[in-house]
Chain A
Amino acid sequence: MEEEDIDLLLNDLFDLYGYDFTRYSRASLKRRIIRLCSLDKFPSFAELRYRVRNDPSYLKRFVEEVTVNVTEMFRDPAFYKSLREEVLPVLGTKPFIRIWHAGCSTGEEVYSMAILLKEANLLRRSLLYATDLNPSVLEKVRKGIFSLALMKQYSESYISSGGTADFSSYYTAQYGQAKFDSELSEKIIISTHNLVSDSSFNEFDLILCRNVLIYFDKELQDRVLKLFDASLGTLGYLALGTKETLKFSAVQHKFKQLNREKIWKKII
């Protein structure tokens, strides 16, 4: 598969469907496209392109598979510990708390956040906005059902993050699945939002966007960071993935990093 093939396909996606992947990290995107070709057994790239062009119902699968939807609860426990100890006490001084999970995928981080808020007695006056460009992953967020097999690992991460409750008290186990309490899910507002093309839709006290920017090139990262800046109130917080940074971005002078974790406070 040549670079020109990828360019053709990306042009089709934009012209026909309005999805713009041209500023995604090319190395990763190309791997995902090759992987999809092999998963769906296309004999050549031309067949994949034909299918994408002529079968709008295939588009959903294409977008789902070329974007990465791997996530987990309480990933990087030290990060969640920092949210608990340094961010939530400050947010708790506000009458109302709005949090945006941008590129939330299947929602494991959103539920982790809801648990933190509940334990800080802040859930009642909080709203968690969960957005992603894939409608199908959002359906999973809505249901709040995750594999029971993962709960042992999540419970360990939860404890490392400073959690002291019995993690299993947050879900009901049945048929190999864990359904999280509706007390958590009813505070989650779900909507599709494409960071590449959509604009700011509210003002937030905390925006979490972890391991999403790594899939974008520098220019798109900058655009998205400006969007976050425009969506944060003064003294609001921005949280990125462990290997992502505000350094060298256009908005870096407006933010101050809180500590070793990738959490910044907006100071202007």
Chain B
Amino acid sequence: MEEDHLNHTCEFLLIGGSAGSLEVLFRLLPLLRADLPFPVALVLHRRNSGDSTLSELLASKTLNPTQEVEDKEPVTPGTIYLAPADYHLLIEHNRTFSLDYSEKINFSRPSIDVTFESAAEVYGPGLVAILLSGANEDGTSGLTAVKQAGGMAVVQNPDTAQMPFMPHYALTHLPIDHVFDTIEMAAFINSLT
């Protein structure tokens, strides 16, 4: 595994998840090292409850600064960003976030595909994208774009996912670099430079 990403510098880590992914993050985030040298963005399907308690909850699980994205905010290494409920999250070439309230994609806003595709264009081979548990097809087109741009595609092992459909769908549609359970995923992320 080490050899795989010896030459792979991670400039941006994306994690997409739907039903069953929060439990994974609650276990994963405390295992991550405190000084991640790259930015992380979480794109999660969730109810538009209008409050931001989820970002506070996630922030309590990690020593890395964690916050919901504000429009046109610079993407800063070491920070864990959460896509706001009910907006698509995009990345500009000048490495700032943009928000978009256009139509839902895969019945979802934020859509994982939208963020993965947009980041693939900007970060190319520097992008690592992970798809977690979920019950719809969102994320697979995004992972395909990440791969095409030279980035790395990782999925949660469907056997360990509460909702295996989403990672399984990706596995059956494109070559995935790594299939991990939560512990392996944490070790992998901590080894990225």
Contact = CB atoms under 8 A, between A and B. Distances in A.
Interface string A232-268: 0000000001111100000000000000000000000
Contacts of A211: 101
Contact of A213 (B71, B92, B102, B121): B71
21 contacts: A25-B90, A25-B98, A25-B100, A27-B92, A27-B121, A27-B122, A28-B98, A31-B100, A31-B114, A32-B102, A68-B100, A68-B102, A70-B101, A70-B102, A70-B103, A211-B101, A213-B71, A215-B100, A221-B72, A242-B84, A243-B84
Binding site secondary structure of chain A = helix
Contacts of B99: 214, 243
A77 B50 contact: yes
A245 B102 contact: no
Interface in B105-126: 114, 118, 121-122
Contacts of A218: 72
A27 B101 contact: no
Nearest to A69: B102
A145 to B, nearest CB: 20
B93 interface: yes
B87 interface: yes
Given A77-B50, A78-B50, A211-B101, A244 B71 contact: yes
A215 B114 CA distance: 15
Nearest to A67: B102
Contacts of B101: 68, 70, 211, 214, 241
A64 interface: no
Interface of B: 50, 68-72, 84, 87-88, 90-93, 98-103, 114, 118, 121-122
Contacts of A77: 50
Interface string A195-227: 000000000000000010111011001000000
A219 to B, nearest CB: 11
A31 B105 CA distance: 12
Contacts of B118: 27, 31
A25 B102 contact: no
A199 to B, nearest CB: 24
Contacts of B90: 25, 27-28, 31
Contacts of A68: 100-102
Contacts of B114: 31
Contacts of A242: 50, 84
Interface in A112-165: none
B70 A243 contact: yes
A241 B50 CA distance: 12
B3 to A, nearest CB: 34
A223 to B, nearest CB: 14
Among all A-B residue pairs, the 4 with the closest Cβ atoms:
A27-B90, A25-B98, A68-B102, A28-B100
A214 B103 contact: no
A252 B45 CA distance: 33
B88, B98, B121, B122 pick with most chain A CB within 10 angstroms = B98
A211 B102 CA distance: 10
A173 B45 CA distance: 33
Nearest to A71: B101
Nearest to B118: A27
A28 B98 CA distance: 8
Best-buried of A3, A70, A76 by chain B (most CB within 10 Å): A70
B84 A25 contact: no
B55 to A, nearest CB: 12
Given A27-B90, A27-B118, A243-B84, 14 more contacts: A3-B93, A25-B90, A25-B100, A26-B92, A27-B93, A27-B121, A28-B100, A68-B100, A68-B102, A70-B101, A214-B98, A243-B69, A243-B71, A244-B71
Contacts of B50: 76-78, 242
Given A78-B50, A243-B84, A243-B87, A28 B72 contact: no
B119 to A, nearest CB: 9
A26 B93 contact: yes
A203 B92 CA distance: 35
B102 A28 contact: yes
